[in-house]
Structure 1
Amino acid sequence: MGDAEFVRKTLIILGLVLLALLLWKLTDVLLLAFGAILVALILHASADVLVRYLHVPERWALWVASIIIFGIVLGLITLFGTQMRAQFSNVVERLPFVIDNFSKNLGFGAVSDDLSEIMNNMPGGGLATRIAGIGGAVLSGLGDFLLVVIAGLYIAASPELYKQGFIKLFPMRHHERVESSLDASGQALRLWLMSQLIAMACVAVLSSLAFWLIGLPSPYALGMIAGLADFIPFLGPILGALPAVLFAFSISGETALWTVLAVVAIQQIEGNVIFPLVARSVVSIPPALALFAILVGSILFGSLGLIFGFPLAVVAYVLVKKLYVRETLGEQTTVPGEAEAKERGGV
């Protein structure tokens, strides 16, 4: 191998290493971009419903769907915003007392004072500084959410522009494979997203109703927390139910028992009734694989990895089955979302 060839290959390797380091540094941005793609898929799926069932002209369907979705959100905020804000404030204010009460029932005594002392003694300031940091994190989260929504609108408005631009990053001979893989992945994500959003809404409504009947404080806020957390499979239902169970323990053992029974019953209804009805042809990832994907995402990428761990696993599952199992190993296998993508002529 001549000197020129050696230098060329060395530069290529260095360039790949630098590119990998750059992508690692930009993981948060890339995850937000993935979130924007999910928003675009939701908007397009809603537009398809308008075209199919309400016969809205296709060129207007996306904008009509966007206006309807954001109109519903603004309407809910207008009607219930004050009540929900008060209930969420009540949850935040009472949470230390609830944790202390639960800890005392277990025989550990009050822990909130110890937590405050630990936070005060930690490097970087006292409790006030930590609270300010939490406030900054909340504002940062709201800013990221707005960024994802706005970017999702742009992607939804011109999906082919971004898809073809991504395809052109690969050699010409791979364009067809890349495009078909993107279409299958997008359709699998679309199916999962729509079924998951419907399930989340049902969980939020059922949880709010159950917590209200049981007599928990701030039942709508606790129900909303349960519904939003349900976006994360496996771990989400546990995390979402935890505040309600803690509040129930602060009232009585009987209330806690009824709350646990209600949570279990709602999850059974979701898993055995709601999800099978709405999850037609949805990608089915082996449970253990999906659970480890969520855990790995949270360890590597923090909260964003926890939120997007499962949808990223959906994409990875489709790509592995299509590009490796079928096309590389030559095994016969069904690729989730592929048949639906062909019927639609792409995503």
Structure 2
Amino acid sequence: MSDADRSKDDAPPTKARVAGPADFADPMLRSEVKRAAVWLGMAGLIVLTVYLSQALLVIFGGLVFAATIDGGARLLGRALPIPRGWRVTIVILLATAFLLWTLMFAGSQLAAQAAQLPEIIESQALRIIAWLQNHGMQINAEAVQGVAKEVLGGVGEVTHAVGGLIGGATTLFLVIVLGIYISAEPRLYQRGVAWMFPITERAHFHATAAQMGRSLRRLMAGRLLGMLLEGVLTWIALSLYGVPMAALLGLLTGLLAFLPNIGAPISGAIMVMVGFSGGVDMGIYCIIVYFVLHTIDGNLVAPYIARKTVDLAPALVLGAQLIMGTLFGLLGLVLADPLVAMIKILLERHSSRNEAEWHAEHGNLADSE
């Protein structure tokens, strides 16, 4: 066989093309197949998001931590006109120094006080149950004691996390590392995410990301300010009266101040129970301290944060905390507030753009008429 004959054998057939199993001649069928593929892809994306929810939450925690570092660097830039990289480094070093000081100088004292806290709260809970039973109320002491132990387990996690005794340090380490990387070059990651959007959507994405970053920085600054004020003022007020474990109670109050709606009642209940362990007068003093600090936070700090950031309805935040806490534990509870704030900004931006497009379209129609 000659080369010409071989080339003819290898050439594609010249007859009419025969449809294969992946060919759809009907345009409507092709449209429906594409639509089904889109829906299947969306379903797969949802399943993948649920499967990777814990990892995505850690990434979001890194974004929140990066916003905190970036806010500190911007604040430092008002006093020190140095390059941004140096300001970020200074903020990270200051945070590391504070953490090391807590571990070295306050760690032993806090650990000793944390060991005494569950016993004191449990004994005070039993005293309250006995008083209620003596006044005719039927209460199962064992059930209440079991609930108290569960609550103390959650409080113990917070205490260990700050005292350097946390068991799940991997998650915290990943959040910190991600936050440092993102805060070092935020523009790089923002451009990378924008690249995955269509060209017509990138300007809207950059504007939305800028608004989210600004609100997140202010939200975290307000949270840290509230935590610092409540923690320090609680420690000073309790120390002046000689309340046991004043340092630990101030620390827990400051930490739980990060959680709106539920943090203050928990820290207040612990403070009052420890106060009554030293007598009725000390317990009443702790109640007064709690209400004074809660009034300051509710009437001064919280409204200021709401005006400067995203004004969220308390019931919405509480519902998000319950859902996120149930699904993801302590990390979900901590990140519920900033996550709801970012979702609200995203929805508001999308709604504003749709409204502007609607007015532009109907305004042009009215002008043409």
TM-score (norm 2): 0.76
Identity of aligned residues (%): 26
Distance 1:250 1:111 in 2: 21
- Between the two structures, name the one with larger relative contact order (CA 8 Å, sep ≥ 6): 1
Q: Which runs of 5+ in 2 are unaligned?
A: 1-26, 134-138, 151-155, 358-369
Moved more, 280-289 or 196-205: 280-289
The correspondence for 1:54, drawn from 80, 83, 90, is 80
What's 1:115 paired with?
A: 146
Q: Assess if the C-alpha contact under 8 Å between 1:155 and 1:162 holds in 2.
A: yes
Deviation at 1:35, TM superposition (A): 0.9
What's 1:21 paired with?
A: 47
What's 1:239 paired with?
A: 266
Q: Which amino acid aligns with 1:155?
A: I
The correspondence for 1:38, drawn from 50, 58, 64, is 64
Deviation at 1:257, TM superposition (A): 2.3
The correspondence for 1:96, drawn from 119, 122, 134, is 122
Q: Which amino acid aligns with 1:57?
A: P
Q: Assess if the C-alpha contact under 8 Å between 1:36 and 1:149 holds in 2.
A: yes
Q: Assess if the C-alpha contact under 8 Å between 2:85 and 2:184 holds in 1.
A: no
Residue 268 (structure 1) aligned with residue 299 (structure 2): no
Q: Assess if the C-alpha contact under 8 Å between 1:297 and 1:306 holds in 2.
A: yes
What's 2:354 paired with?
A: 328
What's 2:346 paired with?
A: 319
Q: Assess if the C-alpha contact under 8 Å between 1:47 and 1:61 holds in 2.
A: yes
Distance 2:117 2:203 in 1: 52
Distance 1:230 1:189 in 2: 17
Aligned pair in 2 of structure 1 residues 115, 288: CA closer, same or farther (>3 Å)?
closer
The residue correspondences of 1:89-168 to structure 2 (distance < 5 A) are: 89-107=115-133, 108=139, 110-111=141-142, 115=146, 139-168=166-195
Deviation at 1:66, TM superposition (A): 0.9
Aligned pair in 2 of structure 1 residues 231, 276: CA closer, same or farther (>3 Å)?
same
TM-score (norm 1): 0.81
Q: Assess if the C-alpha contact under 8 Å between 1:40 and 1:153 holds in 2.
A: yes
Larger radius of gyration: 2
Deviation at 1:114, TM superposition (A): 6.3
Deviation at 1:303, TM superposition (A): 3.0
SS in 2 for 1:246: helix
Q: Assess if the C-alpha contact under 8 Å between 1:101 and 1:110 holds in 2.
A: no
Q: Assess if the C-alpha contact under 8 Å between 1:168 and 1:175 holds in 2.
A: yes
What's 1:310 paired with?
A: 337
Aligned pair in 2 of structure 1 residues 94, 318: CA closer, same or farther (>3 Å)?
same
Aligned pair in 2 of structure 1 residues 329, 297: CA closer, same or farther (>3 Å)?
farther
Deviation at 1:215, TM superposition (A): 3.4
Q: Which amino acid aligns with 2:132?
A: L
The correspondence for 2:89, drawn from 63, 85, 90, is 63
Aligned pair in 2 of structure 1 residues 105, 56: CA closer, same or farther (>3 Å)?
farther
Alignment root-mean-square deviation, CA: 2.9
Deviation at 1:79, TM superposition (A): 1.9
What's 2:212 paired with?
A: 185
What's 2:4 paired with?
A: none
Cα-to-partner distance string for 1:300-344 (whole Å, 9 max, x where unaligned): 4443332111111111221222211x212349xxxxxxxxxxxxx
